[in-house]
C-alpha cells in the first residue's frame, strides 16, 4: 500500500509536466479532473487514518467536485466562448517543460530533506505538494488567457490540498469548507467575468485588459 501511495503522489506531481507541455486548454481541464480522481484514491487508501465525517466530506470533495463538477463547468465555459488553445505564452512550452521538470526534481529533494528533518509530516506528500504549488504559479505567470489563470489557481488549490494532507492525516472539516468556498467563488466570478469580457473582446487574453478604462 505504501508503494501505491507513492505512485499516486508521483502521478499527481508528474501531471504538471503534461500541463506545461500542452497548448490545449481541454487537456488542462482533463488533467485537473485526473488529479481529483487520484486524490479520491488517496483518500480511500487512507481511510483508517481519517475520521468518518472528514472521510465522507473528502470523498465528496475529491470525487464529486474536483473530478466531475468543476471540470465540467470549466469545459462548458470553453465551449461557450469557443476557446481551444493557449496561444503564444510568455515562455515557450519547451522551456516550461524544462522548468517544470526542475521544479519536480526540487520537490523530490524536499521530500528527501524533510524525511530527516521532520517527523510529523509525510515527506513525499510534502515535497510533491511544494512542486505543484510552484508549477501552478509558473502557469499563472506565463500564460495569457484569463481562463488559464483560473485553471492555474485550481492546480494551486490542489497543491495546497496535498500539502494539508502531508501535515496531518486528519484535516479539520472547516479547512475543507474554506477551500470549497474559494473554488466556488472563483469559478462563479469566472463565469460572470468571462461572459462579460467575451461580449467585448474576441480573444480572452490578459493583454486585452490593459485597454479597459473606467
194 within 8 A of 204, measured Cβ to Cβ? yes
Tens-digit pLDDT profile for residues 55-74: 888 888 889 888 998 888 88
Structure confidence at residue 209 (pLDDT): 47
SS3 1: coil
Instruction: Count the domains in the chain.
Output: 1
* The overall pTM is greater than 0.85: no
74 within 8 A of 29, measured Cβ to Cβ? yes
27 within 8 A of 18, measured Cβ to Cβ? yes
Residue-number span of the structural domain to which 19 is assigned: 2-211
Cell of 67: 473530478
pLDDT at 160 over 60: yes
pLDDT band of residue 214 (cuts 50, 70, 90) is very low
pLDDT at 200 over 60: no
Query: How far, CA to CA in Å, does 68 sit from each of 9, 101, 148, 157?
Result: 20, 28, 18, 16
Amino acid at each position: 500500500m505504501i508503494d501505491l501511495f507513492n505512485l499516486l503522489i508521483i502521478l499527481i506531481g508528474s501531471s504538471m509536466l503534461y500541463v506545461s507541455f500542452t497548448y490545449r486548454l481541454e487537456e488542462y481541464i482533463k488533467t485537473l479532473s485526473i488529479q481529483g480522481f487520484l486524490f479520491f484514491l488517496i483518500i480511500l487508501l487512507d481511510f483508517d487514518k481519517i475520521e468518518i465525517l472528514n472521510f465522507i466530506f473528502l470523498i465528496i470533495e475529491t470525487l464529486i467536485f474536483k473530478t466531475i463538477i468543476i471540470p465540467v463547468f470549466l469545459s462548458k465555459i470553453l465551449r461557450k466562448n469557443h476557446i481551444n488553445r493557449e496561444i503564444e505564452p510568455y515562455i515557450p512550452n519547451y522551456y516550461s517543460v524544462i522548468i517544470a521538470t526542475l521544479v519536480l526534481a526540487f520537490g523530490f529533494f524536499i521530500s528527501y530533506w524533510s524525511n530527516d528533518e521532520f517527523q510529523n509530516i509525510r515527506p513525499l506528500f510534502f515535497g510533491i505538494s511544494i512542486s505543484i504549488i510552484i508549477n501552478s504559479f509558473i502557469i499563472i505567470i506565463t500564460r495569457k488567457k484569463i481562463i488559464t489563470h483560473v485553471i492555474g489557481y485550481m492546480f494551486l488549490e490542489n497543491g495546497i490540498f496535498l500539502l494539508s494532507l502531508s501535515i496531518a492525516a486528519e484535516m479539520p472539516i472547516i479547512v475543507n469548507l474554506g477551500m470549497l468556498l474559494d473554488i466556488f467563488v472563483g469559478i462563479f466570478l469566472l463565469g460572470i467575468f468571462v461572459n462579460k469580457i467575451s461580449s467585448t473582446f474576441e480573444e480572452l487574453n490578459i493583454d486585452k485588459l490593459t485597454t479597459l478604462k473606467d
